Copies of this chain bind each other. A is one copy, B any other.
Amino acid sequence: MCRMARPRKPLLSRDLIVDTAGALVDAEGLDAVSTRRIAAELGVSGPSLYNHFRNKDEILDAVADAVSARIDLSMFDADDPRDWRTALHDWALSYRAALRAHPNAVPVLARGPGRRPAGLRVADAVFGAMVRAGWPPAQATSIGALMRYFVTGSALGSFARGFVDDAAAYDPADYPHLGQAHLLAERQEQVDEGAFATGLTALLDGLALQYEAGVRGGWSARGA
């Protein structure tokens, strides 16, 4: 009579499940997460979760959306809608920080917003702000897409972590220029931060060039 089939107060909730699953993703990675482990962590039996989510993918989607929800979007409400460059820059930093805080969840996020509310809010905010700043809609779409490529790419595959911390792995006869590659694993943080900063600056500089050209040329053909 202590462990009943149904207590008067529900043992589970969507939030509880998402929090537990998220902690498991962070601590042990995506592969280590099973519905049975989430349930065990919550002190219930495996199938209980199916009262709150249709399947495992829906749980992981919710975990990913919780990460998206932490991306700051306030810079897109700025007074000067024409300063798209600053807004985009600040957003990119917040975007990346949110993902780097939960690197194991990035593969799920990288699949796109789908129907995830927080993910859609992000796409909506950046698109709206770029249009307001004077970018044609087609270009605004491209900017949302290419920023996602760059940020998720940088959060997903830490460049430096991708190399092995073992000098013998990189035979100079095979890879004449990778003599120091095993050092990358050590300096992981700086390498990835440096590459991200360099790439972001290049991206924004390049977009500024396109913006100026567009304004000068009246955005020629593809304006609508």
Contacts and interface: CB of A to CB of B under 8 A. Distances in A.
Given A124-B176, A162-B114, A164-B114, A203 B199 contact: yes
A11 interface: no
Given A114-B164, A175-B124, A176-B124, A198 B139 contact: yes
Contact of A149 (B143, B196, B205): B196
Which 7 A/B pairs are nearest by Cβ-Cβ distance?
A112-B162, A153-B153, A202-B206, A146-B199, A145-B195, A149-B153, A145-B159
Q: How large is the interface on A (under 10, 10 to 19, 20 to 34, 35 or more residues)?
A: 35 or more
A45 interface: no
Given A112-B158, A121-B175, A143-B195, 6 more contacts: A125-B177, A142-B191, A148-B157, A156-B156, A198-B210, A205-B206
B177 A124 contact: yes
